[in-house]
Amino acid sequence: MKRISFHLSKRQWILLFSCLISAVLAIGLHTVSHVLKNQLEHEKVAAQWDKDGDTAQISIYFSEEEKYNLKSSLESTVFQLESWYHGLLTELQNASITADAEAGNSARQVIYGYSASGTVSMETDLGRTEAKAYGVGGDFFQFHPLQLVSGGYFSESDLMQDRVILDTDTAWKLFGSNDIVGMFVQIGGAPHMVVGVYQRESGHFNDAAGNDKSCVYVSHQTLYKYGQYHGLETVEYLIPNPVTGFALGLVEKQCNGRNVALMEHQNRFAVMSLLKILGAFGTRSMGLSGITFPYWENIARGYEDILAGLLLAELIFLAYVAIVLLGWIWYLWLHRKWRVRHIYEKVKDHGYALGVKHHNRKNKKRIKSEKKPKDKPEELRIDTDF
């Protein structure tokens, strides 16, 4: 039988090394993508809340038209938010999805938070400034944890809604210090207690996304009463999602007829989602719906673009490896010096050799057993002691 052997030419060695380099680059890009996907805390709330992955995190972003329709009065806005919340609870009840009393916090079937944008004027004995403000309610800080320097958060369940969280820049302008928890600042002439100070994130992405200026967090009520209220910007939910698309379907039904944008966060960085972004290249940035996103959503959309680009590069490198390897296999097949019958003969010879070895081993065992002396019969012993 002919011996099977492979001899690589210089060109083939170059192709082999280029494939190895491409594979390493693809692995590197995949690692970078994995790290980037875990950078944004506000995109991982569903996974942190429910480790089993049966909860969906969904956001509603309102167009300027919807903002205008919803800001006719504070009471009507709050009533609309409450009606949406209770509507979702009713839909879950109709679908026989109930809370597990033993699940602790997760026994709350729907978690929601909301925010409105605007500006507020603040004043202390040491200074006065105007800053961008978010009027928040519900469990907003469950969705958007801040990098607190001191203090903590306020809640919609607080008896008084006169609480404020300042960023470090505003704290220094108004007090000359970050250690100011418990002190008061005047907002629209009304005293508000500082409950926390946070470090505003910085960098190119944050600046481009609209997080480049001082920003404070107040209650939704405070922003509406004492600030320049620009309207409700987003409502965010954590909803049970026993079947893919179930929770999103409930929210879509709730928003039927409204000019809004919906985002299901836990799947936004998945491969299929990123491929859709690549498919929408050139039209994705066309703002035809009149929706202005908050800075955290702008940052996430920027990450989507980067991850989509990394995925495209990764696929190109993998495709190169696959094409070269397939071409190489085809080349080897066309120029082979062996045939299938050679492999068959080799396998047959190997099988015959194994059979001979097995037969010889059995013969050796048989001969060895025949040479063993036969066991002597036991002698009959008679006890003569009486």
Antiparallel, parallel or unpaired: β 190-198 and 163-167: parallel
Tell me which range, 41-50, 139-148, 287-296, 376-385, is most confidently predicted by mean pLDDT.
139-148
When pLDDT is averaged across residues 65-73 and rounded to a whole number, the result is 85
Given pLDDT bands bounded at 50, 70 and 90, which one contains residue 22?
very high
Q: Do residues 194 and 181 lie in contact, with contact meaning Cβ atoms separated by under 8 Å?
A: yes
d(CA 306, CA 339): 49
Q: Do residues 103 and 130 lie in contact, with contact meaning Cβ atoms separated by under 8 Å?
A: no
Q: Which residue is listed with tokens 């609309």?
A: 80
Would you give the end-to-end CA distance of the chain in angstroms? 84
The pLDDT of residue 375 is 53
Given pLDDT bands bounded at 50, 70 and 90, which one contains residue 106?
very low
Q: Between 9 and 20, name the one with better pLDDT.
A: 20
When pLDDT is averaged across residues 230-236 and rounded to a whole number, the result is 93
The one-letter amino acid at 365: K
**Over the chain, what is the mean pLDDT?**
85
Q: pLDDT, tens digit, for every residue of 206-217?
A: 888 888 889 999
Q: Closest Cα partner for 43 from 270, 201, 291?
A: 270
When pLDDT is averaged across residues 5-19 and rounded to a whole number, the result is 78
Percent of the chain with pLDDT over 70: 88
- Residue 366: both structure tokens together: 């048989």
The pLDDT of residue 12 is 77
Q: Which residue is listed with tokens 């995925």?
A: 311
Does the structure show a pLDDT above 90 at 104?
no
Burial class from Cβ neighbours inside 10 Å (0-12, 13-18, 19+) for residue 306 reads middle
Does the structure show a pLDDT above 80 at 382?
no
When pLDDT is averaged across residues 351-366 and rounded to a whole number, the result is 77
Sign for the CA dihedral angle at 226, 228, 232, 235 comes to: negative
Tell me which range, 2-6, 126-130, 193-197, 374-378, is most confidently predicted by mean pLDDT.
193-197
Q: pLDDT, tens digit, for every residue of 130-185?
A: 999 999 999 999 999 999 999 999 988 776 789 999 999 999 999 999 999 999 99
d(CA 275, CA 279): 6
When pLDDT is averaged across residues 264-282 and rounded to a whole number, the result is 89
Burial class from Cβ neighbours inside 10 Å (0-12, 13-18, 19+) for residue 114 reads buried
d(CA 236, CA 115): 9
Does the structure show a pLDDT above 90 at 367?
no
Does the structure show a pLDDT above 60 at 379?
no
The pLDDT of residue 1 is 43
The pLDDT of residue 386 is 42
